[in-house]
Amino acid sequence: MNESRPLTKRRAQTRQRLLEAAREVFAREGFGRSTVEQICEAAGFTRGAFYSNFTSLEELFLEMWAQESALMLSRLQNAAEDDVSSVHDVRSAVERVLSALPVDSAWFQITSEFTAHAVRTPGLARVMATREATIQEALLPVVDSLLAQVGRRITNRKALGRSLVAAYDGTLAQLAVEPDSRAVRRHRVDMFTLLVEHYSEPGRRRKFL
């Protein structure tokens, strides 16, 4: 993208509409079968409008991913900052976090297809790995806050961050296949609880004022 151009209100609106249209097209067609022309048609813009904002579909997706990640982290922070009197052990903390993250099958499909594309694209996989590491670092303070409520602390931050992201992605795949399965949702809570317990230990319980 040409960063020398100022991001005016009108341009910001154009970019956002392109992102929204791209999400619709990616969900319908799949990332690999989507084209700039399809996105422009869905957004009601020309190719010129697209390329004045993004250099490629990959760049557009990465910005879309950044927005989705910011929204997810905001929801998690709210879950940790709101009334946490119902959080009394690791399992209840896990249930609180997962309840703040709605399962979005369409987004899961989009990200899965893009990940497969990134693995085959030199440099793109490294960009995704770096951004995922940033997400993990942003996630851990939320975990710290909730664990403090139940008197625990993280023992291996890097391992826990990676494990939580891997478990989240893996259980999303299961929920995409069996969206109405109570067993899958229960197993999801079990898995996250075991991971958090494994990578944490008893510490000082936070006292309520």
Q: What is the pLDDT of residue 49?
A: 95
Spatial separation of the C-alpha atoms in residues 92 and 155, rounded to whole Å = 20
Q: What is the pLDDT of residue 6?
A: 65
Is a pLDDT exceeding 50 seen at residue 157? yes
3-state secondary structure of 200: strand
Which of the 8 DSSP states describes residue 140?
H
Spatial separation of the C-alpha atoms in residues 62 and 115, rounded to whole Å = 11
Q: 52: pLDDT confidence band, cut at 50, 70 and 90?
A: very high
Identify the CATH class of 1-55. Answer: mainly alpha
pLDDT tens across 25-50, in order? 999 999 999 999 999 999 999 999 99
Q: What is the pLDDT of residue 204?
A: 63
Which residues are within 8 A (CB) of 12 and not within 5 positions of it... i.e. 6 or more apart?
Answer: none
Q: What is the pLDDT of residue 206?
A: 54
Q: 183: pLDDT confidence band, cut at 50, 70 and 90?
A: very high
Q: What is the pLDDT of residue 102?
A: 85
Spatial separation of the C-alpha atoms in residues 152 and 89, rounded to whole Å = 9
pLDDT tens across 2-16, in order? 455 667 888 899 999
Q: What is the pLDDT of residue 208?
A: 45
Is a pLDDT exceeding 50 seen at residue 1? no
Is a pLDDT exceeding 50 seen at residue 155? yes
How crowded is the C-beta side of 134, counted as CA atoms within 13 Å? 10
Q: What is the pLDDT of residue 140?
A: 92
Is a pLDDT exceeding 80 seen at residue 61? yes
Which residue is it, tokens 């709210």? 78
pLDDT tens across 63-82, in order? 999 999 999 999 988 888 88
Domain residue limits, the chain: 1-55, 57-202
Instruction: Give me the percent of the chain exceeding a pLDDT of 70.
Output: 94
